[in-house]
């Protein structure tokens, strides 16, 4: 993990992936204080809200942490400027390739840029454009997902790119043995979300946490696209009434497309706003029936509320034991 630790400035190269509404000051600072690397999920926050969240996180930890920004945010450049003012050391851009100017703005501010690489060709393009590290995330993950599993992405991509820059593997990681395996394949570290979402320090509603503790891997299912004209990025979440509500939402947006009352870009934005609202309903309000319970397949390994420090210690001990067995 040394390479990943050197890159992040953390004690262990375990990132807690940004989770909208969940990854705020408390969880982020707890992760970084425990030796991992926390990421604030900016999501749809305004620059003012992000400014306050970064300041509050800094008040809770002296350790490094990063900020995850969504590429389609209309005020992306202002958000980057807020991070620059705070001297944020690492920025993750999620949701697509870095829009024009964003890469230069981030690197110009002295921050390290981490991007998601959904395929080898895109990874090579991102490396050429100057990103500092990559996350490869498989479809086992919670939240928005691609079509390929983590194990296949790791085999296809790590041998080709892991020597060129630090690569962090995400999606479906629940135990340290899996971390050890990806490190052996050349990963610099890993990113987990689902395992940390219900930590004691997470502000997620008790109902949200209870739903995680009860769920097994097969309950975390990917959303289905109902209209071929409306490409929606699948989202993995626990099945509930909200799953059906999303089908209804897609029909409503597809009808608006048919009537010509909205354009495709607006249609996709409406879908993304839907998810942000639905996740808030579950995480903050505790409405686990109608809200979105975004969760990865590793949810079956989340059994009880534990402090972040205990989760990290357990993962590291398991990885360590696995690697020593191979010596």
Ligand X SMILES: Cc1cc2nc3c(=O)[nH]c(=O)nc-3n(C[C@H](O)[C@H](O)[C@H](O)COP(=O)(O)O)c2cc1C
**Binding of residue 291 to ligand X (CB under 6 A):** no
- Residue nearer to ligand X on the CB measure, 63 or 236: 236
- Which of positions 194-233 make contact with ligand X (CB under 6 A)? 194-195, 197
Q: How far apart are CA 170 and CA 15, in angstroms?
A: 9
Asked if 51 contacts 82 with a C-beta cutoff of 8 angstroms, the reply is yes
| Residue from the set 31, 67, 131, 295 that interacts with ligand X by CB under 6 A | 295
Closest residue to ligand X in the complex (CB): 193
- Residue nearer to ligand X on the CB measure, 191 or 250: 191
Residue 98 CB, shortest distance to ligand X, in Å, is 14
Q: What is the dihedral of CA 109, 111, 112, 118, to 10 degrees?
A: -70
Q: How far apart are CA 225 and CA 251, in angstroms?
A: 10
Q: How far apart are CA 155 and CA 138, in angstroms?
A: 12
Q: How far apart are CA 67 and CA 109, in angstroms?
A: 14
| Residue from the set 109, 192, 271, 312 that interacts with ligand X by CB under 6 A | 192
| Residue from the set 68, 102, 223, 240 that interacts with ligand X by CB under 6 A | 68
Quickly count: other Cβ atoms within 10 Å of residue 175's Cβ.
15
Asked if 187 contacts 154 with a C-beta cutoff of 8 angstroms, the reply is yes
Residue 126 CB, shortest distance to ligand X, in Å, is 15
Where are the extended beta strands (E) located within 171-318? 189-192, 220-222, 235-238
- Which of positions 155-174 make contact with ligand X (CB under 6 A)? 170-173
User: How many of the chain's residues bind ligand X (CB under 6 A)?
Assistant: 28
Residue 201 CB, shortest distance to ligand X, in Å, is 15
Nearest to 22 by CA among 168, 175, 191, 201: 201
Of the candidate spans 81-89, 97-105, 291-299, 311-319, the one that interacts with ligand X by CB under 6 A turns out to be 291-299
Residue 230 CB, shortest distance to ligand X, in Å, is 21
Q: What is the dihedral of CA 271, 98, 192, 305, to 10 degrees?
A: -50
- Residue nearer to ligand X on the CB measure, 23 or 250: 23
**Binding of residue 189 to ligand X (CB under 6 A):** no
- Which of positions 296-325 make contact with ligand X (CB under 6 A)? 296, 298
- Which of positions 7-46 make contact with ligand X (CB under 6 A)? 17-20, 22, 41, 43
What SS3 state is found at 105?
helix
CA distances in angstroms from 188 to 119, 167, 168, listed in the order given: 18, 5, 6
Nearest to 157 by CA among 132, 179, 135, 189: 135
Of the candidate spans 53-61, 101-109, 133-141, 250-258, the one that interacts with ligand X by CB under 6 A turns out to be 133-141
| Residue from the set 53, 140, 201, 219 that interacts with ligand X by CB under 6 A | 140
Residues that bind ligand X (CB under 6 A): 17-20, 22, 41, 43, 68, 94, 137, 140-143, 170-173, 191-195, 197, 294-296, 298
């Amino acid at each position: 993990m040394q390479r990943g630790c050197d890159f992040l400035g953390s004690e262990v190269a375990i990132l807690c992936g940004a989770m909208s509404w969940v990854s705020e000051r408390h969880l982020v600072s707890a992760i970084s204080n425990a030796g991992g690397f926390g990421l604030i999920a900016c999501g749809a926050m305004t620059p003012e809200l992000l400014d306050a969240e970064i300041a509050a996180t800094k008040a809770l930890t002296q350790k490094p942490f990063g900020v995850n920004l969504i590429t389609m945010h209309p005020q992306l450049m202002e958000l980057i400027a807020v991070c620059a003012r705070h001297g944020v050391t690492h920025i993750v851009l999620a949701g697509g390739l870095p829009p024009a100017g964003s890469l230069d703005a981030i690197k110009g501010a002295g921050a390290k840029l981490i991007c998601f690489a959904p395929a080898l060709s895109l990874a090579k393009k991102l490396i050429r454009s100057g990103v500092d590290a990559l996350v490869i995330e498989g479809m086992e993950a919670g939240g928005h997902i691609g079509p390929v599993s983590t194990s296949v992405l790791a085999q296809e991509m790590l041998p080709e790119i892991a020597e060129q820059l630090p690569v962090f593997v995400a999606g479906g990681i629940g135990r340290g043995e899996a971390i050890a395996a990806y490190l052996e394949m050349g990963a610099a570290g890993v990113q987990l979300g689902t395992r940390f979402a219900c930590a004691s320090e997470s502000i997620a509603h008790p109902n949200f946490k209870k739903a995680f503790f009860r769920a097994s891997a097969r309950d975390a299912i990917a959303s289905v696209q109902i209209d071929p004209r409306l490409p929606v990025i699948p989202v993995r979440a626990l099945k509930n009434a909200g799953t059906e509500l999303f089908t209804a939402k897609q029909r409503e947006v597809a009808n608006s497309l048919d009537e010509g009352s909205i354009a495709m870009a607006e249609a996709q934005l409406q879908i993304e706003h839907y998810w942000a609202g639905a996740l808030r309903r579950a995480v903050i309000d505790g409405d686990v029936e109608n809200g979105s319970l975004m969760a990865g397949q590793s949810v079956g390994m989340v059994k009880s509320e534990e402090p972040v420090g205990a989760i990290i210690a357990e993962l590291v001990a398991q990885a360590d034991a696995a690697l020593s067995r191979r010596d």
